[in-house]
Structure 1
Amino acid sequence: MDLDSAITLRNTTWSVILSHLVLTCVLLLATLAVIRWHVRDSYKVDALGQKHVFITGCDSGFGNLLARQLDGKGLHVIAACLTEKGAADLASAASPRLKTLLLNVTDGRSIGRAVEFVSREVGERGLWGLVNNAGRSIPIGPTDWMQSEDFTKVLDVNLIGVIDVTLQFLPLLKKARGRVVNVASIMGRLSLTSGGYCMSKWGVEAFSDSLRRDMQHFGIKVGIIEPGFFKTAVTSLDLINGDLRKRWARLPQDVKDSYGPAYFDKYLNVQALSMGLLCSSDISKVTRCMEHALTARCPRTRYGAGWDAKLFWIPLSYLPSFVSDFFVNALLPSPKAT
């Protein structure tokens, strides 16, 4: 081997060694960063047994499970239900520490009464957590199946209700330098259906972002829960299909003709297939995110709940519109006119 070849071989060897060292250092730093994040993520706030949390929409679903879950962890839970039966059933399934009250989030006076009740319960400590969970999904369907009041029915509960409840409870939250947890949806990132539901959840995302920035000066942290598809009253197929049948029956004949005679049945079949394939029955995936947002020392800004949200819907929301349009259109039937 001549001198030039030896020098070249030596330089190549050193280059390979340095490349391996750099790669090893990068992997080591990345591993340490992940470990540090997990450790930091696991730290809990102190004195949870002295903190009060107010939850809306506790008749069933996420709110009901979260109320029982936090009650089991020793927190003081005040659970708001829409119906007396929902309140009675929840009270019988929880400890005497959990309190229930009736609340209609579309009624300002009802919210005011709830604030007075919670204020008496929390005293000077203030309210540690507010979970805006109450919501509704129907009516849904193509846009020209709707009337303007169909949008306001959903927006009044899912968005205006969230805003009104939050504004009225903010003084109590400021006292405790507490937490606000708002339940949005992956449909707050992707409009998978028409009607007021997606619009309301996009609004919850925007309201939560502005609230978080404004309230950080007062020590209040705001978290957004973005569930995928789960089996709750909101995704009840009987409820959705019943509403769609009423909506189709009232449409003018020219609108029905524009979609074609087979479209409605195909639309119902798609709804049944989608709910059957996508909806998870393990709603604790959502309530664990809610609990972390309330009890973690360093809560996250957003929580994707469910594997479909984390691995498909949320990544899809970052892609160009023509890509997301392709997938959404593949899920729905096409009108006769197209």
Structure 2
Amino acid sequence: MFVYILVLLALWFVYRWFQESKRVADNGDKHVYITGCDTGFGHLLAKHLDKLGFRVIAGCYTEKGEDELKKASSDRLTTLHVDVSDSASVRQTAAFIDSLVGQKGLWAVVNNAGIGVPSGPTEWMTIEDYKSMLAVNLVGVIDVTLSVLPLIKKARGRVVNVASVFGRITPFGGPYCVSKYGVEAFNDSLRLNMAPFGVKVLCIEPGFFKTNVTNTEILENNLTKLWDRLPQHVKDDYGADFLERGFKMMSERFRVLTDGDLMKVVGCMEHAVAAVHPRTRYSPGWDAKLIWLPLSYMPTFITDSFFLKSSPRIKASVL
């Protein structure tokens, strides 16, 4: 019986590998719109899909990002400026894409644009801190998707939303996890709504990778600014050395967990765009698979205890 089960499992894995290895044809006729192409995952994905023959429409926030991408790509790739937090910019970009793709429609949109700061303990935040991040990480994803969804439906294509494993579990405060939970919810509802139209909606949930979001220098500067604007009574609650201990813990944790191979994420993005049978969810990164996702299925009292014990001790703590 045990051998029989092993054989069935082996056959299932072979079948799954065979199905997932199939790629769509006629890449040269398929347009892919990617946001956040200045650096990181978006920049690498734009170049990667361009090499595979796709007609990439790379949305960048800066002229520098556009120039660097043009120099490293073929003439199939089109760059344009888009600010995903500005609906006028999003609509203008969508109108240009409509004129570019014609009756073929848009094969895929990859909502990659995102920011990681401001981020810190929730008590240190203002509502404006939440609004600024949600405008990019969540509202921007929704706005961009809705702006090109008619073109995606026309091509029976894909929507690829880049969330985070921290859209499944929340180990720290601030707006980042809130924004990623929102992306997960939007992704799930859109996937159900679009299924009858033959549109696939996929989600990328990376763990810690070496990008601006996990740049310790940027994060430390941001936390210092947040600390400096706190009233003295809040600083007293946390303790004068809380920030220093937090920096040390963050540095040690990122050193262990952060993966420098961004192509692990880009490979998942490419599969979501180009595979005949893409996965519903991708969780690149060993930490996502072995730490964060398993923790997300644990009872709350276990995860709370784990995160509290692995956080800097607060002076005013009653625990």
How far residue 310 of structure 1 moved from its aligned partner, in angstroms, is 1.2
- What 5-or-longer segments of structure 1 have no aligned partner? 1-21
Q: Distance in 2 between matches of 1:33 and 1:330?
A: 41
User: Which residue pairs with 2:55 in the alignment?
Assistant: 76
Give the secondary-structure state (helix, strand or coil) at the position aligned to 2:283.
Answer: strand
Q: Distance in 2 between matches of 1:165 and 1:331?
A: 37
How far residue 127 of structure 1 moved from its aligned partner, in angstroms, is 0.2
Q: Distance in 2 between matches of 1:85 and 1:40?
A: 40
User: Which residue pairs with 1:161 in the alignment?
Assistant: 140
Number of residue equivalences: 317
Q: Which amino acid aligns with 1:81?
A: C
Q: Which amino acid aligns with 1:328?
A: F
Give the secondary-structure state (helix, strand or coil) at the position aligned to 1:182.
Answer: strand
2:128 corresponds to which of 149, 163, 179: 149
1:35 corresponds to which of 10, 14, 31: 14
Q: Distance in 2 between matches of 1:308 and 1:88?
A: 34
User: Which residue pairs with 2:4 in the alignment?
Assistant: 25
Kept in 1: contact 2:108–2:159 (CA 8 A): yes
Q: Distance in 2 between matches of 1:298 and 1:122?
A: 24
**Rg larger in structure:** 1
Alignment of 1:1-338 (within 5 A): 22-338=1-317
- Of stretches 75-84 and 32-41 in structure 1, the one that deviates more from structure 2 is 32-41
Q: TM-score, normalised by structure 1?
A: 0.92
Q: Distance in 2 between matches of 1:87 and 1:193?
A: 34
Q: Which amino acid aligns with 1:294?
A: V
Q: Distance in 1 between matches of 2:194 and 2:263?
A: 28
Q: Distance in 1 between matches of 2:5 and 2:239?
A: 59
Q: Distance in 1 between matches of 2:224 and 2:293?
A: 31
Q: TM-score, normalised by structure 2?
A: 0.97
Q: Distance in 1 between matches of 2:251 and 2:47?
A: 30
Give the secondary-structure state (helix, strand or coil) at the position aligned to 1:130.
Answer: strand
Kept in 1: contact 2:32–2:56 (CA 8 A): yes
Structure 1 consecutive aligned stretches of length 4 or more whose deviation exceeds 6 Å: none
How far residue 41 of structure 1 moved from its aligned partner, in angstroms, is 1.1
How far residue 235 of structure 1 moved from its aligned partner, in angstroms, is 1.4
Give the secondary-structure state (helix, strand or coil) at the position aligned to 1:298.
Answer: coil
How far residue 199 of structure 1 moved from its aligned partner, in angstroms, is 0.2
Q: Which amino acid aligns with 2:181?
A: W
Q: Distance in 2 between matches of 1:313 and 1:259?
A: 27
- What 5-or-longer segments of structure 2 have no aligned partner? none
How far residue 142 of structure 1 moved from its aligned partner, in angstroms, is 1.0
Deviations 1:240-260 (A, max 9, x none): 111111110110000000111
Kept in 1: contact 2:116–2:212 (CA 8 A): no
Give the secondary-structure state (helix, strand or coil) at the position aligned to 2:148.
Answer: helix
Q: Distance in 2 between matches of 1:276 and 1:28?
A: 40
Deviations 1:73-122 (A, max 9, x none): 00000000000111111111111111100000011110111111111221
How far residue 238 of structure 1 moved from its aligned partner, in angstroms, is 1.4
Deviations 1:36-94 (A, max 9, x none): 11111111112122101000000000000000000000000000000011111111111
Kept in 1: contact 2:108–2:152 (CA 8 A): yes
**What's the RMSD between the two structures over aligned residues?**
0.9
Deviations 1:150-206 (A, max 9, x none): 111111100000001101110110110000000010110111211110000000000
